[in-house]
Amino acid sequence: MSDPRRTSSKRVTLEEVARVAGVSRATASRVVNGVATVDATIRAAVQNAIDATGYVPNLAARSLVTRRADAIGLVLPEESRLAGDPFFETVIRGVMSVIGPSGVHLVLMTMDTNTRDQVVSDLRRGRLDGVILIHTDRDDPLPRQLIEANHPVVMSSRPLHPLPVTYVDVDQTAGGALAAQHLMSLRRNRIVTIAGPQHTSAGQDRHTGFLDAVADPDLPWTEGDFTRESGETSMVHLLRAHPGLDAVFAASDLMAQGAMTVLRATGRRVPQDVAVVGFDDSSAALACDPPLTTVRQPVADMAAEMARLLLARVADPDAPPTRVVFEPTLVVRGSA
């Protein structure tokens, strides 16, 4: 595996680059280290000199001084849970909006085999400065493990078990209540709901908020897993038991989309026969026909906040944990 570029670099020093570029060593160093305030002409001269000499800067040596990787991890759920869900793309964009301009690397990971070991190992070995964890399950030991080792970590939702961790969330309970109040204001009285997974705080809290606001302990419901497929299956189930239903709250836009497909396939009109409200206000809401009335959580803003909180924790790992909770809003469109 020959690599002339890398081999030859051993002989070129920063002094030589500076000499070829006709600048001081300090200026050459600033260009090499990506300092943003260097004049464009000088930057170009130094970069030409780097090309001409084949210089490769000694980044590893720099890391020995700062002890920072200048890289943070964004840990998404298992790969199989990402497909077709616009939520994660929005999270990535929100985090990128903060991390990108900072020059820090955003390292993407999914919670698959070995990921937990790799995250721990990368933090220990200084390959990552901190991690953002998206949607860990109730029984995942990773958050506690990272916090006990004092690694900078930010979570995307309230942990189901109490944990001294920094997290960002939306007021899920209030969001569920918004959906209920809207359906009741439309005088719907044969309401059903497709809840999210009850082993997540989002699934639990949206459901509790909805039920408390409707105040009907016998309200029919099923549990989905936030996917379109589970919305379809749940809707088939609920229609079989309650063919006269006139309103559905689905705890995610994708489940609402699946429910609407089944409603239409059984000859029901949305919203005339059955009103449908979703949760998220993702791109799936606009892809519905009619467009979906839904509870909006500002996912991109929440993700940007996670990134800011993590950078702050990396700068000061001993700061006490913070919690930031966003307010949901109801977006009324055609479906209810």
Q: Nearest to residue 7, comparing CAs of 56, 65, 41? A: 56
| Region binding its own copies by CB under 8 A among candidate stretches 4-12, 162-170, 205-213, 244-252 | 4-12
Q: Give me the amino acid identity at 35.
A: V
Nearest distance, CB of residue 19 and its own copies, angstroms: 18
Instruction: Please pick, from the candidates 53, 90, 172, 297, the single residue that binds its own copies as defined by CB under 8 A.
Output: 90
Q: Which two tokens stand for residue 314?
A: 């990396």
Instruction: Please pick, from the candidates 41, 64, 187, 217, the single residue that binds its own copies as defined by CB under 8 A.
Output: 64
x/- string (CB under 8 A) for its own copies, residues 145-164? ----xx--------------
| Region binding its own copies by CB under 8 A among candidate stretches 81-89, 174-182, 186-194, 214-222 | 81-89
Residues 9-48 that bind its own copies (CB under 8 A): 32-34, 36, 47
Cβ closest to its own copies, residue 115 vs residue 208: 115
* Residues 149, 123 contacting (CB under 8 angstroms): yes
Quick check: helix, strand or coil at residue 296? Answer: strand
What are the respective helix, strand and coil percentages of the chain, to the nearest 5? Answer: 50, 15, 35
* Residues 231, 250 contacting (CB under 8 angstroms): yes
Residues 165-224 that bind its own copies (CB under 8 A): none
Quick check: helix, strand or coil at residue 14? Answer: helix
Q: Nearest to residue 253, comparing CAs of 146, 185, 307, 333? A: 333
Residues 287-306 that bind its own copies (CB under 8 A): 287, 289
Is residue 125 close enough to count as binding its own copies by CB under 8 A? yes
Residue 143: how many other CB atoms lie within 10 Å: 18
* Residues 123, 151 contacting (CB under 8 angstroms): yes
Nearest distance, CB of residue 203 and its own copies, angstroms: 22
Cβ closest to its own copies, residue 13 vs residue 198: 13
The dihedral sign for the CA sequence 104, 110, 116, 121: negative
Residues 91-120 that bind its own copies (CB under 8 A): 92-93, 96-97, 100-101, 103, 105-110, 112-115, 117-118, 120
Cβ closest to its own copies, residue 103 vs residue 216: 103
